[in-house]
Amino acid sequence: MCGDVLPPACYARAYRELGTSGRARTVEAPLTAEQRAQRAAEERRRSEQERALKEQRRKDQALLNTYGSEKDIEVMRSRAERDLNAAIQAAQDRITEIRRLRKKFEDEAEFYRNRQLPADIAKGLRDADHEIKAQESVIESKKKDQEAIRQKYDEDLRRFVELSKRPPVRP
C-alpha cells in the first residue's frame, strides 16, 4: 500500500489503492515492452482467426446456396470440364489448320531453295510458327485449368457433404 501520492519507487510496480469506501483496489504494473509486443501479437493472431472463421462461414453459406445436392456439383463439374475440352479441341483444330497453311508456304518455299524467299512467304512461315506456339500455350493453360477445376469441385463436394451431414450451427 502506498500513501495518497504515489512515490516514484512504485511507478513501475503493481500496487493496491485504498478507496474512499475503504475497499482496496489492485492496480496492475505497467506492461514491459516485451509483454506489450506479446499482447499485440496475441491480439493479431486472435483477430486473424476470427477473420478466417468468418470467411469460412461465408464460403460455406455460398456453397450451400449454390448447390442443392451432390448431383448439382457433379453436373457443374461435368459442364466445366466439357467447356474446357471443347476449348482444347478448338485449339487443336486450329493447330491442324495452321499446319496445313504452313505446309503450303513450305511447298512454295521449295521453288526458292537456293534464292532468297519472298517476304510474304517468309512472313507466312513465321506467323504460322508463332500461331502454333500460341495455340500450344493455350492448350497447356487449359490442361492446367482442368486440374484446377477438378480440385475445386472435389473440394466443393467434400465440403458440401461435410456441411450436409452435420446439424446447422446458429451464429
Sequence spans of domains, the chain: 1-30, 32-66, 69-123+131-165
Burial 138-170 (b: 16+ CB within 10 A, else e): bbeebeebbeebeeebeebbebbeeeeeeeeee
Q: What is the mean pLDDT of residues 14-41?
A: 82
pLDDT score of 3: 53
Q: Does residue 33 have a pLDDT over 90?
A: no
Residue 35 — very low, low, confident or very high, per pLDDT cuts 50/70/90?
confident
- What residues have CB less than 8 Å from 57, skipping those under 6 apart? 171
Strands 15-18 and 24-27, sheet pairing: antiparallel
pLDDT score of 157: 93
- Rounded Cα–Cα distance for residues 24 and 153 (Å): 63
Q: What is the pLDDT of residues 106-163, one digit of tens each?
A: 998 888 888 888 899 999 999 999 999 999 999 999 999 999 999 999 999 999 999 8
- What residues have CB less than 8 Å from 26, skipping those under 6 apart? 14, 15, 16, 17
Q: What is the pLDDT of residues 64-113, one digit of tens each?
A: 999 999 999 999 999 999 999 999 999 999 999 999 999 999 998 888 88
Half-sphere exposure of 144 (CA within 13 A, CB side): 5
